[in-house]
């Protein structure tokens, strides 16, 4: 007899990644972000910024995080409790690109993700989501003394382009030291920046970022209607 995969949403996040050749991560400082107008002056830091030889990370109290390495910048924000008009990341990305128009931008990634825990811990302890809902049970999963965990990578060819989805079975440790079983869905819409002129290549990221809502809606439709509605054993 089958029963629903009872998953409770914990958070949803939107990350936008800009890849650029020879981008200096040392540019990413709170002073640069605020003085250039990339982020509002009244945004407060959640913790001291991180800057080392390879990475820079700036976190704000509104749950917006900007990180950079030598070839990419990632802008992320939790969005599960926000209306789409309250999502700040796309505007921040556009302003960043406008501030550094001469950077050699190579691609844009629209990356929504969502994290779920099991409502029924007894059911979770029997089997994880990938084994329970996505794979046919067989003798291959009977050898382990603990529930088999897995990672599943899927590549979709959609009408608008490529969509990649990674699904991870996660086992966390709660404050009471008991295990917490969870599922992480990580989506990726990759876009290449094209153009024959510097002006065209500069405008292309703006066009790709403008359509982030369509990508988020596609991701939500796939997760909510193609996965969360499935039955487990």
Mapping DSSP to helix (H, G, I), strand (E, B) and coil, where does residue 222 land?
A: helix
Predicted pLDDT at 130: 78
Predicted pLDDT at 23: 87
- pTM for the structure as a whole: 0.87
Spatial CB neighbours of 89, under 8 Å, sequence gap ≥ 6: 14, 15, 16, 64, 75, 76, 77
Predicted pLDDT at 45: 97
Mapping DSSP to helix (H, G, I), strand (E, B) and coil, where does residue 22 land?
A: coil
- The tokens for 179 are 């295990």
Predicted pLDDT at 1: 28
Predicted confidence band of residue 3 (pLDDT cuts 50, 70, 90) = very low
177-230, pLDDT tens digit by residue?
Answer: 776 778 899 999 999 988 776 666 667 788 888 889 999 999 999 998 888 876
């Amino acid at each position: 007899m089958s029963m629903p995969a009872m998953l409770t949403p914990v958070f949803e996040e939107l990350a936008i990644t800009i890849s650029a050749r020879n981008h200096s991560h040392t540019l990413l400082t709170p002073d640069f972000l605020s003085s250039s107008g990339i982020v509002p002056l009244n945004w407060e830091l959640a913790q001291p910024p991180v800057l080392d030889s390879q990475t820079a990370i700036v976190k704000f109290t509104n749950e917006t995080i900007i990180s950079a390495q030598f070839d990419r910048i990632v802008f992320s924000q939790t969005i599960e409790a926000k209306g789409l008009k309250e999502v700040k990341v796309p505007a921040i990305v556009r302003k960043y690109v406008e501030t550094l128009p001469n950077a050699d931008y190579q691609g844009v990634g629209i990356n929504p993700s969502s994290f779920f825990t099991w409502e029924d811990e007894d059911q979770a302890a029997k089997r994880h989501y990938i084994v329970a809902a996505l794979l046919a049970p067989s003798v291959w999963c009977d050898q382990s003394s603990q529930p088999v965990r897995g990672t599943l990578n899927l590549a979709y060819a959609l009408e608008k382009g490529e969509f990649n989805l990674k699904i991870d079975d996660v086992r966390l440790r709660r404050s009471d030291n008991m295990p917490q079983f969870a599922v992480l869905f990580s989506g990726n819409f990759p876009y290449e920046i094209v153009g024959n002129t510097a002006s065209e290549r500069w405008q292309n990221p703006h066009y790709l970022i403008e359509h982030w809502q369509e990508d988020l809606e596609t991701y939500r439709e796939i997760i909510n209607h193609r996965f969360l509605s499935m039955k487990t054993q």
